[in-house]
Amino acid sequence: MRAEPFFGPDFTLLQRQDPEMAQILLDELERASGGLQLIASENFTSPAVMAALGSTLTNKYAEGYPGRRYYGGCEVVDRAERLAIDRARRLFAAEHANVQPHSGASANLAAYAALLQPGDTMLAMALPHGGHLTHGSKVNFSGRWFDVVSYGVRRDTEQIDYDEVRDLALRNQPKVIVCGATAYPRLIDFSAFRGIADEVGAWLLADVAHTIGLMAGGAIPSAVPYADVVTFTTHKALRGPRGGGILCTAELAARVDRAVFPFVQGGPLMHAIAAKAVAFAEAAAPEFAGYTQRVVANAKALCDSLAAEGMRPVSGGTDSHLALIDLRAIEVTGAEAEKRCAAAGITLNRNAIPYDPEPASITSGLRVGTPCVTTQGMGPEQLKEVGTLVAQAIRYPENAAEVQERVSGMVAIHKPYLSEY
Ligand code: PLP
């Protein structure tokens, strides 16, 4: 599944017409291909996905749904959206799919709109413990419009405490329970969440923005059999275009569709929907299963390597594509570590760890992920080396140039598809 470089239908035209913007695109190409990309939520999408994204479907207005549009001339784009819906339903064994959400945040907004009224109570994971902004943060619509009760992870295991979730659910009687996270390295027990939701008569919403790709490839168990509604993004481990989607039961199909359009969004991005369909087909191919298994094996190798360098993995390890690293033992903050890695050509992000004593802008941790480097063809041996390079970059900032040279050597062999054009 190694992809070839692709820049759109006619990059030379852009270079002639708008050299200033063409140069920005080239600079980003150089940045992304010249270093190690360890941001857990990113990936290198395929040229076929890029071709669909750069297509004339971007020109078409198509408010509504296939066969029920508010514009003429939608008979062709209807076929694109039907294909995307059918492929998503088949890939995830879901009763219903809505492929119109522009992003993961939009998918969550629509899912809440389908299930909740302003002021209703929902139970979700706290942002400082790995939850997402849209799970009830006060700076987000979700925290302002709903009465949010948050659960976290235990201090000792740094994993979700299902007894705490159950106690909170029994005490607060939420209408929706949200499971899923943005910085949680372990598997989530969807069956346990289902049991708790049933006990209190709540809807179960699984936000698997991060892990949907791993579920598509079968590397981790799917949330679909357990949740009433599943929200996801298409641009992370799934390797599709930037975008979102919602899967749900047949019972909730009409409510979810009405919540996406007309409640939350206007016209769908038909080029993005076509690109999502391409990505769903790619994820259904047998090679994709191997890719997702390698993503997880690589995350474990990276985690072990960092642990051997004295950088403690939160919860003791990972079952997924990402690891959360506690830097306190080496007395470097997340912000400083992020900066030192950047100076050595390694892109990753600082991240709060559970019960973090530092503010969110500084943090005591790092989040690292392996979807990008796995797409580049790296395996556990290389990830062991990546761990060493991350540790060197953080511990010995004076040697940044030397680390960068080794990084350049690695990406020269394991090129992202963007490395040439
Ligand atoms: N939900 C979770 C769990 C996420 O991790 C993210 C993004 O990282 C989102 C929602 C939001 O996705 P987007 O950035 O596409 O809005």
Q: SS3 letters for 374-407? A: HHCCCCHHHHHHHHHHHHHHHHCHHHHHHHHHHH
Contact 292/216 with Cβ under 8 angstroms?
yes
The two three-digit tokens of residue 170, written as one number? 């029994």
pLDDT digits (tens, 9 = 90+) for 65-124: 999 999 999 999 999 999 999 999 999 999 999 999 999 999 999 999 999 999 999 999
Active site residues: 61, 63, 207, 233, 236, 242
- Nearest-CA residue for ligand 1 atom 12 is 104
Three-state SS annotation for the chain: CCCCCCCCCCHHHHHHHCHHHHHHHHHHHHHHHHCEECCCCCCCCCHHHHHHHCCHHHHCCCCEECCEECCCCCHHHHHHHHHHHHHHHHHHCCCEEECCCCCHHHHHHHHHHHHCCCCCEEEEECHHHCCCHHHCCCCCHHHHHCEEEEECECCCCCCECHHHHHHHHHHHCCCEEEECCCCCCCCCCHHHHHHHHHHHCCEEEEECCCCHHHHHCCCCCCCCCCCCEEEEECCCCCCCCCCEEEEECHHHHHHHHHHHHHHHCCCCCHHHHHHHHHHHHHHHCHHHHHHHHHHHHHHHHHHHHHHHCCCEEHHHCCCCCEEEEECHHHCCCHHHHHHHHHHCCEECEEECCCCCCCCCCCCCEEEEECHHHHHCCCCHHHHHHHHHHHHHHHHCHHHHHHHHHHHHHHHHHCCCHHHCC
Q: Name the burial class of residue 177, with classes exposed (0-12), middle (13-18) and buried (19+) by CB atoms within 10 angstroms of its CB.
A: buried
pLDDT at position 420 = 33
The two three-digit tokens of residue 143, written as one number? 């925290």
Tell how far the Cα of 108 is from the centroid of ligand 1, in angstroms: 9
pLDDT at position 10 = 76
Contacts of 406 (CB under 8 A, 6+ apart): 385, 389
Q: Binning pLDDT at 50, 70 and 90, where does residue 11 land?
A: confident
| Overall average pLDDT of the 45-52 stretch | 92
Q: Binning pLDDT at 50, 70 and 90, where does residue 415 land?
A: confident
182 lines ligand 1 (CB under 6 A): yes
Tell how far the Cα of 209 is from the centroid of ligand 1, in angstroms: 6
Indicate the length of the chain as a whole number. Answer: 421
Contact 167/108 with Cβ under 8 angstroms?
no
419 lines ligand 1 (CB under 6 A): no
- Nearest-CA residue for ligand 1 atom 11 is 104
| Overall average pLDDT of the 297-317 stretch | 97
Distance CA 148, CA 121 (A): 6
244 lines ligand 1 (CB under 6 A): yes
Our mutation pick for probing the ligand 1 site, out of 134, 211, 264, counting the most ligand atoms within 8 A of Cβ, is 134
pLDDT digits (tens, 9 = 90+) for 29-41: 999 999 999 999 9
Distance CA 410, CA 402 (A): 13
Q: Which CA distances in Å does 324 have to 11, 174, 303, 380?
A: 38, 29, 9, 18
Q: Which domains are present in the chain?
A: 56-283 (3.40.640.10), 287-413 (3.90.1150.10)
Which atom of ligand 1 lies at the shortest distance from residue 235's CA? 15
Phi, psi of 351, rounded to the nearest 5 degrees: -155, 140
pLDDT exceeds 90 at position 249: yes
User: Could you check whether the bond before residue 262 is cis, i.e. omega within 30 degrees of 0?
Assistant: yes
Contacts of 398 (CB under 8 A, 6+ apart): none
pLDDT digits (tens, 9 = 90+) for 129-140: 999 999 999 999
Which atom of ligand 1 lies at the shortest distance from residue 181's CA? 3
Sign of the CA dihedral with 351 first, then 357, 360, and 363 last: negative
Share of the chain above pLDDT 70, in %: 97
Share of the chain above pLDDT 90, in %: 95
AA identity, residue 328: R
pLDDT exceeds 70 at position 2: no
143 lines ligand 1 (CB under 6 A): no
pLDDT at position 401 = 98
The two three-digit tokens of residue 105, written as one number? 């945040």
| Overall average pLDDT of the 259-281 stretch | 98
- Nearest-CA residue for ligand 1 atom 5 is 182
Sign of the CA dihedral with 86 first, then 92, 98, and 104 last: negative
